[in-house]
Amino acid sequence: MYDVTIIGSGPAGLTSAIYARRAELATLVVSGAQPGGQLTITSAVDNYPGFPEGIEGPELMERIRAQAAKFGVEFDLGEVTAVDFETKPFKIAIGKRNVETRAVIIATGSACRWLGLESETKLRGKGVSACATCDGFFFTGKHVAVLGGGDAAIEEATFLTRFASRVTVVHRREELRASKAMQKRALDNPKIDFEWNSTVEDVLDPAKNKVTALVLKNVKTGETKELPVDGVFVAIGHEPATGLFKGKVELDAKGYVVTRGTRTSVAGVFAAGDVQDPRYRQAISAAGSGCQAAIEALKFIAGEDALPGW
Ligand code: NDP
């Protein structure tokens, strides 16, 4: 029997583990399919406080993991295969292993959606990025493309004009999904132009180990052309990792866990990080909500929090 079982081992999960152990809770972290989460596929992290020289994503996660281990957090490297939140204590299956736990923190994160092109995968971190906040700085004075037509794409494009000399938004339709206010800001920005009705057929040039151009196809005319760019930011949405929790806690229309603070619709089950946050999606905001979830779990276990769910 654990006091708290944390599902996921990105910044949210591991920060909640540190706080839970420091409060002397018997704490299990189930690391999941991608131990360390999205930061392990990121290169330089320049915006995490405390690292003025910057730090590589995998190293940052290893340090946070080591900090959690130092306090006696137990790790299970498996993947959660089923959860039962209807009986107390809660039950969690990790393959063949079944554990009981007084509280649960869901910190399974989200994954950014990629186009799925081989060239895109090969050039990730070499000109292909999914985070303007993280990587925009590297494109100072360059021409970059942003893929997508939602709020995230337009926000990324607008942010990138701080660094890039030119930003081309590539969208598969001729109408943006982004809010009118965001659209206006982008349409009025002289550094931003648009390639409408266009899909990306290929990212050039893996042979050169850097991005040199996009091959675009106009979906109306069928014509293809090359758009020379130095970098590409993919902003076509994220998918929260909540398949396991459908029907177990309340999810919104896009599949994110609905939270108030870090409470979910089930008393004793909390959620932290990107799995409940489509808006900020930063390592530091995930870590912050992990801290909050652990404090909420502690209060719940101590019986100080009588509210059912929310
Ligand atoms: P959205 O789902 O809103 O938009 C995704 C965009 O990517 C759409 O324009 C979509 O095209 C396009 N797209 C999806 N799949 C593909 C594909 N395979 N190939 C090409 N294009 C594709 O996601 P966002 O990440 O933009 O936003 C997520 C949520 O976060 C939204 O609710 C948004 O409002 C919110 N948000 C708010 C912000 C703010 O208010 N400042 C900032 C960022 C996000 P199509 O339009 O044709 O479907």
Can you list the domains of the chain with their CATH numbers? Answer: 2-111+238-301 (3.50.50.60), 114-234 (3.50.50.60)
Best probe residue, ligand 1, of 112, 151, 194 (max atoms within 8 Å of C-beta)? 151
**Average pLDDT of the segment spanning 110-134:** 93
In terms of pLDDT, which residue wins out, 32 or 90? 90
Helix 11-22 and helix 283-301, axial crossing angle in degrees, nearest 10: 40
Q: Which residues are catalytic?
A: 131, 134-135
Ligand 1 site, CB within 6 A: 113, 115, 148-153, 155, 172-173, 177, 236-238, 278-279
Nearest CA among 64, 32, 108 for reference residue 269: 108
Distance 178 CA to ligand 1 centre (A): 7
Residue with tokens 């920060």: 15
Query: Structure tokens of 74?
Result: 């137990």
- Cα dist. 131→46, 87, 126, 160 in Å? 12, 40, 13, 10
Residue 45: strand pairing partners: 55
Ligand 1: atom nearest CA of 153 is 26
pLDDT band at 310 (very low <50, low <70, confident <90, very high): low
- For the whole model, what pTM was predicted? 0.75
The mean pLDDT value of the chain amounts to 94
User: Looking at the predicted structure, is the pLDDT value of residue 174 above 90?
Assistant: yes
Nearest CA to ligand 1 atom 37: 151
Best probe residue, ligand 1, of 159, 172, 217, 279 (max atoms within 8 Å of C-beta)? 172
Report DSSP state, residue 89: S
User: In this predicted structure, what is the pLDDT of residue 306?
Assistant: 52
SS3 141: coil
CB count, 10 Å around CB of 80?
22
For the ranges 42-46, 104-108, 140-144, which has the lowest average pLDDT? Answer: 42-46
Residue with tokens 């390639």: 195
